[in-house]
Amino acid sequence: MTATGFFTDTTVCIGCKACEVACKQWNQLPADGDFFSGRSYDNTIHLEATTWRHVAFVERSVPLSGRTTAHPFSWLFMSDVCKHCRRAGCLEACPTGAIIRTEFESVYVQPDVCNGCGYCVVACPFGVINRRQDDGRAWKCTLCYDRQRDGMEPACAKACPTDSILFGPVEELKRHAELRLAELHRKGVTEAYLYGMKEEDQPGTEGLHAFFLLLDRPEVYNLPPDPAVPTKSCAVSWGCMALAAAGMVAAGMVAVRRGGEK
């Protein structure tokens, strides 16, 4: 089965939040964000167990590329979602087998198997997955697995009025993303770049099945600049432990020898 995913072009996102609404409606997620956050028009703030799509509103004191104004200001919009990492920290950390890789290469949490331990929450380098307060189980974007099995595209991509969110085979999306990036560079938008598309750019996750075209540093969009699953550092951790153990053995042998000499 062909791996499918998302390519999100933030340069054409208008912040309408149609994707958020469509996601909640299709997946029957409870309402949230009904308060004034103080963060521009963003009242959902971040991805959560009941918010599987989140549109960020980033206000900057800099103008858009190629524009000069007396009072520089610009908005950046980005619809964030689970990245369905090729090497998923949540999947590796799950002790019950509740998190699996589907035939579409997406990362799926089986709610009937999840025991709410929360290991996946701390293992996700993007802070995507979380537990619901009402049942304690972990929830996140399913890449609309139920819709895909019926030959339909995810609700968020279908609802996007500007095609900022594109869904399809990952390899086709990569080619489209590269063409779009080249087009923007020809138009003078040289700060544009692709985030998470290639394994060499993000070795810590071995690439993402939901990648983005951005206009500013990842941190501006609340994305980690160098994400890595916790198990990536296991070899280094074990090496440090071995060195520490060897040092303790050596110190013990020296102490015993000196004690014998006395």
* pTM for the model: 0.86
Q: Is 240 annotated as a binding residue?
A: no
Residue 259 has pLDDT above 90, yes or no: no
The pLDDT score that the predictor gives to residue 238 is 41
Average pLDDT over residues 79-101: 97
Residue 184 has pLDDT above 70, yes or no: yes
Q: Is 16 annotated as a binding residue?
A: yes
pLDDT class of 237 with cuts at 50, 70, 90: very low
pLDDT tens per residue, range 117-133:
999 999 999 999 999 99
The pLDDT score that the predictor gives to residue 43 is 81
Q: Cite the beta strand spans of the chain per DSSP E.
A: 4-9, 54-60, 74-80, 99-101, 107-109, 130-131, 138-139, 165-169, 193-195, 210-214
Answer yes or no: are the C-beta atoms of 210 and 84 closer than 8 Å.
yes
Q: Is 120 annotated as a binding residue?
A: yes
